[in-house]
Amino acid sequence: MTKKDYYEILGIGRDASEEDIKKSYRKLAMKFHPDRNPDDPKAEEQFKEAKEAYETLSDPKKRATYDQFGHAGFEPGAGGFGGGFSGGFADAFGDIFGDILGGRGRSNVYRGADLQYNLEITLEEAARGTETKLRIPTMDSCETCKGSGAKPGTQPVTCPTCGGHGQVRIQQGFFSIQQACPKCQGSGKIVTNPCGDCGGSGRVKRHKTLSVKIPVGVDEGDRIRLTGEGEAGVNGGPPGDLYVVIHLKSHPIFRREHNDLHCEMPISFGTAALGGEIEVPTLDGNVKLKVSPETQSGKVMRIRGKGIKGVRSSSIGDILCHLVVETPLNLTDRQKELLKEFDSISHENRSRHIPKSESWMDKVKSFFTE
């Protein structure tokens, strides 16, 4: 059977450039790949033809042989390079994954790295929102060489090892393995006259100052994404992103739990026993709170709507005030005398004045009796 002309298979002229050959092959491979055309023998055959044509025409030596002798130059004993699938099984997969899946392993254009900045803010700043400036160390594109890495007035040259492909093929027995060129690290270009400012890398380390808006209600661990403010890309690749991670400073009064604020409020023994009015702090100032008579230590009083409105919340949290009865210190003789009298009177009718203590003692006696 007469084989089709490789140039006709790829739909290109005989003067086509390497880039034209590659573009045409990618288009056909995407169209006829077996994974995209299951159970279609015709598509599979067209994919194989395109693959065979590309493997021949993309290699300068094989292309020269084909242009001179046609298919006969590859027949056994013709002094050519063997059959159409000269690259073997491994090369076929290399082209499938490299060309069809976006050229991974062949492209020298890389996205810049993402950066993370840990920002500490106060509880008040988190509750109300704020704006701050950050000084970020980052790798930025070199202004002198415009990111090329070459000295101004010069350009990177085609790598002599891989011929600009960025990859080389190593024959290991039956298999032909394709890997990144060790000379140019897969870029296809080398810098013979490196830029003096970046040393040929195309990037320099700089500090940049950014203004960041902290939204109302951010909480511990929340992340703010600044698109394109990460490190510069390589060889014209897009920049990465900057993630600002929020950390809340310890507050002297409040402990945040989601949108609620917790605080401990010490009250005197007299206020707890007789009731009264106390002032409780909030982020907007003090508010007055009524304490009922005979309030026990540990009671939680809720002040609604005085907490924080979270970033993803439609309502405002509360303040939960944990009352702690404070034992008086540095008592005077008169105070001690009055407390002894009070304690004596209280014990005359324990079940009425100190019911919890009385109940606890009954449980202790019951435990030891049993």
- pLDDT above 90: residue 306: yes
Rounded Cα distance between 76 and 210, Å, is: 67
Return the pLDDT at 314. 85
- pLDDT above 60: residue 58: yes
133-165 per-position pLDDT tens digit: 999 887 777 888 877 788 888 888 888 888 878
Half-sphere exposure of 292 (CA within 13 A, CB side): 7
Q: Which two tokens stand for residue 361?
A: 């003692």
CATH 1.10.287.110 domain range(s) in the chain: 6-100
Query: What kind of fold does domain 6-100 have according to CATH?
Result: Helix Hairpins (1.10.287)
108-154+195-250 domain in CATH 3.20.20.140?
Answer: no
Binned at pLDDT 50, 70 and 90, residue 270 comes out as: confident
Q: What is the DSSP letter of 342?
A: H
Half-sphere exposure of 329 (CA within 13 A, CB side): 1
Tally Cβ neighbours within 10 Å of residue 122: 13
Greater pLDDT, 24 or 66 = 24
Binned at pLDDT 50, 70 and 90, residue 99 comes out as: very low
Which residues neighbour 174 within 8 Å (Cβ) at sequence distance 6 or greater? 88
- pLDDT above 60: residue 101: no
State which amino acid sits at residue 309: K
Return the pLDDT at 359. 59
Return the pLDDT at 139. 76
- pLDDT above 90: residue 317: yes
Return the pLDDT at 44. 86
- How many residues are recorded in the chain? 370
Which residues neighbour 322 within 8 Å (Cβ) at sequence distance 6 or greater? 262, 263, 264, 265, 298, 299, 300
Assigned superfamily of 255-369: Urease metallochaperone UreE, N-terminal domain (2.60.260.20)
Helical packing angle, 41-57 and 18-32, nearest 10° = 160
Rounded Cα distance between 315 and 307, Å, is: 10
pTM: 0.55
CATH 2.60.260.20 domain range(s) in the chain: 108-154+195-250, 255-369
6, 50 contact by CB (below 8 A): no
Locate all alpha helices (DSSP H) within 13-79, ordered by sequence: 18-32, 41-57, 60-69
